[in-house]
Amino acid sequence: MISQYAQVIINQPSIHIDQYFDYKIPTALLGEIQEGQRVIVPFGRGDRTVDAFVVGIKDHCDIEDNKIKEIIQIIEEAPTLTANQLKLAKWIRDYYICLHIEALQVMIPGGMNIVKKERVFLNLARITEKCIGKNNTLESKVVQYIQEQNRPMDLDTIYRTFPGQENKRRIKKMVRENYLDVQEKFYMGIREKEEKYIMLSGKYKSQEDYLKEIKNTAHKQREIIMHLDHFPYKLRDIKNKLNISNSSIESLLKKELISITSKMVFRNPYHNRNFQNPRKTLTGEQKNIIEQFEYLIKKPSQKMLIHGVTGSGKTEIYLNMIEKMLKMGKQSILLVPEISLTPQMVERVIGRFGEQVSVLHSHLSHGEKYDQWKRIKAGKTNIVVGARSAIFAPLKSLGLIIIDEEHETSYKSSNRPRYHAKEVAEKLCEIVDCHLVLGSATPSIESYHSTENREYHLLSLKNRIDHIPMPDITLVDMRNELKEGNYSILSKELRRAIEQNLQEKHQSILFLNRRGYSTFVSCRKCGYVEKCPKCDVSLTYHQNNHRLLCHYCGYTKPTPKICPCCKSRKIRFFGTGTQKVETIIKKEFPQARILRMDVDTTRKKGSHDQIINAFKNQEADILIGTQMISKGLDFPRVTLVGVIIADTSLNLPDFRAAERTFQLTTQVAGRAGRSVLSGQVIVQTYEPSHYSLIHAQQHDYDNFYKEEINLRREMQYPPFKKLINIVFTGEDEESLIRKINTFYLQLTDYLREAGKGHLINDIFKPVPCSISKIKNKYRWHLIIKTNDLLLFSHILKKGYPKGVEESNNLNIAIDINPMSII
Ligand SMILES: Nc1ncnc2c1ncn2[C@@H]1O[C@H](COP(=O)(O)OP(=O)(O)OP(=O)(O)O)[C@@H](O)[C@H]1O
Ligand SMILES: [Zn+2]
Ligand SMILES: [Zn+2]
């Protein structure tokens, strides 16, 4: 028997309709409706219609047959989402606590949304002069207007033509009383791009025979025929060239002298680019990893972590793995951080695999993204390279997911659903039985920990290609500079190195981490930073009451005026921007050609690539930038990397501060000396004895990890316990505080009543976020640190606590496994 009912999720992001709705499949559509398809259904009051995703098909349903509504129409024949994607969406919904529709929408490119248009027609049978009234009423004007237009009109256009609330009310009344008929039309926000082609129809062999059918006076038609043959030409070109009208074309079509065909055009952002990347002979270490890979993938769903120092040739390994997959008839996804999607990575992949590659990232237009997606869906692509959301690429026989620079925070989405591409990839591997490879020179503590408990296989590359030595890293103690009377942001050492590099015509990179900027307080003489005694994170300075606050647990104390450690008065906030660094460098080295790369200089589309290319072509001597320049770049002539101040990341009020500092320092240092020209790195800091800097200086990930994992264990931070960060944002701080406190109390009450009182200690009391106000909106949060993530997400998922709901003036963001808590 053919199933008669469909379960759908309505495409409207509202908590009130976040559930399955059953619809009857009309006889005409029996056997046609499939899971993953998008359909139009009647929904809510009146004759309103909306689009929805079919997520299930079933044989019976509890609603009585005379009460159940029917599906109206199918939007696309082929299901938009696959069965596996539907499974994945359910998991995302439950794990990250979001609406089901949000979990479905995240899997398709933006712009594929369904748009509803309401077409208006005159109901001539009903419109008589009498009922429309005198000539000058609004009603008669509307009728006249529609008659004059002589084409289908959108309801919105009519509202716009007759603006004002009162007019709108009266037009609506005309619809209600059937003077106007409204037909709804649904279509996708993105259109396919078509190109029309024109050629002789094939009716005759020679042009003369065609011309015999055209009158001598029809000059234009004759001209067209004379320009055509039996090969297709772009209609657009012919039209422009001969300056012809549609009517000539139509006459020729009527006489069957020409034929017009259209072809879908693939909007390809990389067309006309000729990349080359010949295969390299693998080094011993690379070969070794490929052999292990080949052995491991004989077993189902394997997970691997490649820990390879900077410049060790990880990309070449990825390309080899992808090639192995192709030989097995399997497809691959290669995820890279958004920012490394500069030509370098794309060039290497397309250069090796050409047409088989699709690229997905946020700089593509909606149309380009959609075309890529369609190509993937149609099975024309075997490799997808992309940023975070490319994990949802609809490949049919996915065999391998690779995540490059897996430690990068950009793999975590900051909008709902707040998913992490690595966690989604792990789940996907389970669902479709494919393999997962993570790669990094500085693996996240969590990922490395999973190699210790054997969840992941560890594959290592200990040397750079050609055994090029790792660059020398010098830590410069800025406290000494101060003692010697140097108040500049450049130490003597860094200044000297830049100068020398300029003379030798080598390139330099100056790096400045701007995150967490100016929120911590430190002593410039001794480097002392105030930390929370209970949480071991830096205290944050709050301007409104001049106090220091731990935004994990709420511990607070007044801001000291003199350093508690060395009694100096030089205790102050921190802060230098890239622009300021640029000004200073320009002044000190007027002869240097400087490029700056930060959010300000990369706003325009393509500017990122432009700066990178200019630097690559040696059009500049010094590149100044933020984390954007810290990774992935491979410039042979860069021999000096300077870190202006390492402490900004060291003192982030976040338990991952040390990890971030180690990663950033290692990654930026990794940009230096990648060729035979050897490299030097100078890191300026007030805390040169910090373990993250010492280990980075010694290129010693293993010992950094050992020290860090012990701290995590001691403080019970991830991976030992999981975190949930719940952020309340709103303009009215008082009501915000009231609501988050209610939330907290209800949560603890619930646990007590459920007999889980011992878990109450897992919830920290609400406190202001370390960035306590953004764009006039106050931010408070509540952190849960627990072994029982599932229980908590279950409680939160149930919409508990009750009565604390999002509204216009209150936003509640629940972040499972947050990447940063500021
Ligand atoms: N087998 C090989 N033979 C010769 N050159 C190679 C080989 N493998 C890689 N290379 C080259 O070595 C350089 C460094 O490789 P790659 O950029 O892949 O390093 P990486 O490990 O990804 O470094 P990072 O983590 O710093 O991005 C590149 O220029 C690459 O073309
Ligand atoms: Zn001090
Ligand atoms: Zn604390």
pLDDT at 578 over 50: yes
Residue 553 counted as an annotated binding residue: yes
Single out the residue of 544, 539, 600 nearest to residue 573, CA to CA.
539
More confident residue, 436 or 536: 436
What pLDDT, in 10s, does the model give residues 230-257? 788 888 888 888 888 788 888 888 888 8
Strands 435-440 and 811-816: unpaired
What pLDDT, in 10s, does the model give residues 593-612? 999 887 777 777 778 778 88
pLDDT at 646 over 80: yes
Task: Please tell me the predicted confidence (pLDDT) of residue 560.
Answer: 86
pLDDT class of 696 with cuts at 50, 70, 90? very high
Q: Is residue 561 part of a domain?
A: no
**Do residues 623 and 733 share a domain?**
no
- Ligand 1 close to Cβ of residue 316 (< 6 A): yes
Domain of residue 313, CATH code: 3.40.50.300
Distance CA 747, CA 782 (A): 11
Residue finishing a domain among 466, 489, 506: 466
DSSP state of 68: -
**Do residues 292 and 426 share a domain?**
yes
pLDDT at 321 over 80: yes
Distance CA 640, CA 195 (A): 51
- ipTM surpasses 0.90: yes
pLDDT at 501 over 90: yes
Residue nearest to atom 26 of ligand 1 (CA): 310
Distance CA 347, CA 590 (A): 35
Residue 535 counted as an annotated binding residue: yes
- C-beta atoms surrounding 178 within 10 Å: 12
Q: Which of 353-362, 451-460, 716-725 is the least confident region? A: 353-362
- Ligand 1 close to Cβ of residue 670 (< 6 A): yes
What pLDDT, in 10s, does the model give residues 145-181? 888 877 778 888 888 888 888 988 988 888 888 888 8
pLDDT at 298 over 90: yes
Task: Please tell me the predicted confidence (pLDDT) of residue 742.
Answer: 92
pLDDT at 516 over 50: no
Q: Is residue 177 part of a domain?
A: yes
Distance CA 728, CA 280 (A): 52
**Do residues 490 and 392 share a domain?**
no
Q: Is residue 542 part of a domain?
A: no
Ligand 1 pocket test target in 282, 289, 305, 315 with most atoms within 8 Å of CB: 315
Task: Please tell me the predicted confidence (pLDDT) of residue 272.
Answer: 58
Mean pLDDT, range 188-197, rounded to an integer: 73
Residue nearest to atom 3 of ligand 1 (CA): 280
Helix (H) or strand (E) holding 557: strand 556-558
More confident residue, 549 or 352: 352
pLDDT at 632 over 60: no
Q: Is residue 689 part of a domain?
A: yes
Residue 550 counted as an annotated binding residue: yes
Q: If you measure from the C-alpha of residue 664 to the centroid of ligand 2, how many angstroms do you get, rounded to a whole number? A: 26
Task: Please tell me the predicted confidence (pLDDT) of residue 295.
Answer: 97
Task: Please tell me the predicted confidence (pLDDT) of residue 748.
Answer: 92
- C-beta atoms surrounding 418 within 10 Å: 20
**Do residues 485 and 601 share a domain?**
yes
- Ligand 1 close to Cβ of residue 311 (< 6 A): yes
List, in sequence order, every residue forming a beta bridge with 774; answer none if it has no partner.
777
What 3-state class would DSSP assign to 686? coil
Q: Is residue 608 part of a domain?
A: yes
Q: Give the total number of structural domains in the chain.
A: 5
**Do residues 490 and 626 share a domain?**
yes
pLDDT at 5 over 60: yes
Mean pLDDT, range 46-75, rounded to an integer: 87
pLDDT class of 803 with cuts at 50, 70, 90? low
Residue 565 counted as an annotated binding residue: no
- Ligand 1 close to Cβ of residue 282 (< 6 A): yes
Task: Please tell me the predicted confidence (pLDDT) of residue 177.
Answer: 83
Mean pLDDT, range 253-263, rounded to an integer: 83
pLDDT at 136 over 60: yes
pLDDT at 517 over 50: no
**Do residues 139 and 35 share a domain?**
no
**Do residues 704 and 726 share a domain?**
no
Q: If you measure from the C-alpha of residue 498 to the centroid of ligand 2, how many angstroms do you get, rounded to a whole number? A: 30
Task: Please tell me the predicted confidence (pLDDT) of residue 518.
Answer: 47
More confident residue, 676 or 820: 820
**Do residues 425 and 299 share a domain?**
yes
Distance CA 473, CA 310 (A): 14
pLDDT at 677 over 80: no
Task: Please tell me the predicted confidence (pLDDT) of residue 574.
Answer: 59
**Do residues 748 and 702 share a domain?**
no
Name the residues around ion ligand 3, CB cutoff 5 A.
Answer: 532, 534-535, 550, 552-553, 555
What pLDDT, in 10s, does the model give residues 804-814? 677 778 889 99
Percent of the chain topping pLDDT 70:
93
Residue nearest to atom 31 of ligand 1 (CA): 313
| Domain span including residue 693 | 472-516+577-712
**Do residues 461 and 508 share a domain?**
no
**Do residues 344 and 363 share a domain?**
yes
Q: Is residue 168 part of a domain?
A: yes
Q: Is residue 547 part of a domain?
A: no
Residue finishing a domain among 155, 188, 221: 188
Strands 258-265 and 193-200: antiparallel
Asked if 487 and 693 count as a contact pair (C-beta separation under 8 A), the reply is no
Percent of the chain topping pLDDT 90:
43
pTM summary value: 0.82
Domain of residue 812, CATH code: 3.30.70
More confident residue, 601 or 511: 511
Average pLDDT, the chain: 87
pLDDT at 133 over 70: no
Residue finishing a domain among 688, 712, 736: 712
Sign of the Cα pseudo-torsion (265, 268, 271, 276, in order): negative
Q: Is residue 544 part of a domain?
A: no
Task: Tell me the angle at which helices 701-715 and 445-452 cross, rounded to the nearest 10 degrees.
Answer: 90
Single out the residue of 692, 674, 304 nearest to residue 683, CA to CA.
692
pLDDT at 452 over 60: yes
Q: If you measure from the C-alpha of residue 484 to the centroid of ligand 2, how many angstroms do you get, rounded to a whole number? A: 16
What pLDDT, in 10s, does the model give residues 201-220? 888 888 888 888 888 888 88
pLDDT class of 760 with cuts at 50, 70, 90? very high
| Torsion angle, alpha carbons of 660, 286, 615, 630, to 10 | 0
Task: Please tell me the predicted confidence (pLDDT) of residue 536.
Answer: 72
Asked if 353 and 331 count as a contact pair (C-beta separation under 8 A), the reply is no
**Do residues 652 and 789 share a domain?**
no
What pLDDT, in 10s, does the model give residues 392-449? 999 999 999 999 999 998 899 988 999 999 999 999 999 999 999 999 999 999 999 9
More confident residue, 80 or 550: 80
Residue nearest to atom 24 of ligand 1 (CA): 310
- Ligand 1 close to Cβ of residue 818 (< 6 A): no
Distance CA 625, CA 770 (A): 25
What is the distance in angstroms between the CA of the first residue and the CA of the last residue of the chain? 56
The minimum-distance atom of ligand 1 relative to the CA of 315 is: 18
Residue nearest to atom 22 of ligand 1 (CA): 314
Task: Please tell me the predicted confidence (pLDDT) of residue 588.
Answer: 93
Q: Which residues contact 700 (CB under 8 A, 6 or more apart)?
A: none
Mean pLDDT, range 533-537, rounded to an integer: 75
Asked if 333 and 391 count as a contact pair (C-beta separation under 8 A), the reply is yes
